[in-house]
Amino acid sequence: MTTLASRPAAKQHRPKNTPPSNFSSPVFDEVGLPSDPNNLYRQTVGSMLYAAQVMNLPNGFQLILAQPKNEIMVHFPVRMDDGSYRLFKGYRVQHNNALGPFKGGLRFHPDVHLDDVKSLSFLMTMKCSLAGLPYGGGKGGIKVDPRKHSSGEMERIVRRFTTAIAHNIGPDYDIPAPDVGSSAQHMAWIADTYSFLSEATGKNANAVITGKPVESGGSLGREKATGQGVVDTLEIMLPELGLDISHITFSVLGYGNVGSWAGRILAAKGGKMTAVADHTGFLKNEKGIDTVALADHVAKTGGVRGFTGATSCTKEDFYKTKVDVFVPAALEQMVQEEEARMLNCIVVAEGANAPTTPAGERVLLERGIEVLPAILCNAGGVTVSYFEWVQNLTFHSWELDRVDRELNKHMVDAANRTKAARQKYDCDLRTAAYIAALERLRKVYELRGIFP
């Protein structure tokens, strides 16, 4: 495999400041974080606290950012198609709104729990700050498996959840969006329910949520935005690793919204996808997998299994496939130590949120594998969500060209600020991305202070 040793000499610098896999901070105890080192919230906040230590961020700011502002949990009954009632659990966590309204997706998944949602809302605060957006961070979800419900049941679940959290969201307060398991159709039902419940009507009520269908107030380019942002980030970062995006090989973990769009856009630029995996199986084809045909197959069958343009392989085969770029685009904590040791790539481009554990990242860094962190790499989705919100509030529709151009500006700026922080603090890219995000938040808190 291509290793750090075989890359151009200029790329062989190993940063001085990289987080240890067992990083600990006094802030953990001060704000009462769980003691389990495998806890996702402890891990994600830990990466930020490490960056805060490197840049000497005052303790008070670290405390504010180490816990969310509001944690809302709701239970609501829904009538099933057979006439029975079921009780569902939903969440909305509002991490921070120093930079603007809370913003972040809604996950519909049977394993959703409070720590996930807290972690994801925290990441949104950091991502919006890094991407230069006037938003804070939020996240929510419903503990439900959308695949196990009819369209009618899902509509009642989504509308009833919206009713339960309606007083806690709003176009100028908290603006949800899609995430794993939720779709543009769900967003349209949320906008409609909210407009019915609130005094706001029409387009401005539409601004309560983004990721809507284009016909119903959505933005052109939103569906592919996160995958597009992953590719924009790679385009900016690959040249310094001696890679040309039009000739790369890549593999993708998770072929849903983010993974399939990243795959299709990379392939359109000349890249070759040689391995792919999702919850249904692992596939490989050294000659290249047709990314568009696979997306059609997944849309029809719900997963990559059974696709005839590649052969099924083991998990080990999938991770050990030699590629230039590996794109994790499924769920959190999927690249642990074991996977990090198997990976045979030059770059990990985090399409998913928090896919790499601190222990996994330690292995990747020691092996000279570059990690493009999620708060940079997958910021395209929230950036185009911001454009959708601006279009709703100003009663305008932007052309796709304009959406792509403006998105690229935000991605380039975020990548450049990350690179500048890496240079200044001699650190890895995740630490650098957090530092760039924290610098913006620090300035705001220094200017506005804390009430009273």
Give the footprint of ligand NAD on this chain (CB under 6 A).
178-181, 226, 253-259, 277-279, 303, 329-331, 351-353, 378, 381
Query: Which residue among 103, 127, 139, 212 is the active-site one?
Result: 139
Q: What is the maximum alpha-carbon separation in the chain?
A: 68
Tell me, rounded to whole angstroms, the distance of Cα 96 from its chain centroid.
17
Shorter beta-carbon distance to ligand NAD: residue 187 or 207: 187
Task: Write out the H or E segment, with its range, that includes residue 272.
Answer: strand 272-278
Nearest residue to ligand NAD, using CB?
A: 256
Q: Whose Cβ is closer to ligand NAD: residue 52's or residue 364's?
A: 364
Which C-beta is closer to ligand NAD: that of 226 or that of 251? 226
Residue pair 373/435 in contact by the 8 Å Cβ criterion: no
Whole-number minimum distance, CB 179 to ligand NAD, in Å? Answer: 5
Least Å distance between CB 218 and ligand NAD? 12
Q: How many other C-beta atoms are found inside a 10 Å radius of the C-beta of residue 199?
A: 7
For 173-210, the DSSP string reads TEEEEE-TT--HHHHHHHHHHHHHHSS--HHHHHTT--
Nearest residue to 372 via CA among 245, 207, 193? 245
- Minimum distance between the CB of residue 381 and ligand NAD, rounded to whole angstroms? 3
**Identity (one letter) of the amino acid at 62?**
Q
Nearest to 125 by CA among 447, 449, 450, 437: 437
| DSSP conformation letters of 28-70 | HHHTT--S-TT-HHHHHHHHHHHHHHHTT--HHHHHHHHS-SE
Considering the complex, state which of residue 194 and residue 261 has its C-beta at the smaller distance from ligand NAD: 261
CB of 299 to ligand NAD, least distance (A): 11
- Least gap, CB of 346 to ligand NAD (angstroms): 22
Q: How far apart are CA 278 and CA 181, in angstroms?
A: 14
Name which of 77 and 110 has its Cβ closer to ligand NAD.
110
Judge whether 424 counts as a catalytic residue.
Answer: no
In the bound state with ligand NAD, the residue whose beta carbon lies nearer, of 52 and 372, is 372
* Nearest Cα to Cα of residue 225 among 13, 390, 378, 410: 378
In angstroms, give the least distance from the CB of 430 to ligand NAD: 15
Residues labelled catalytic: 139
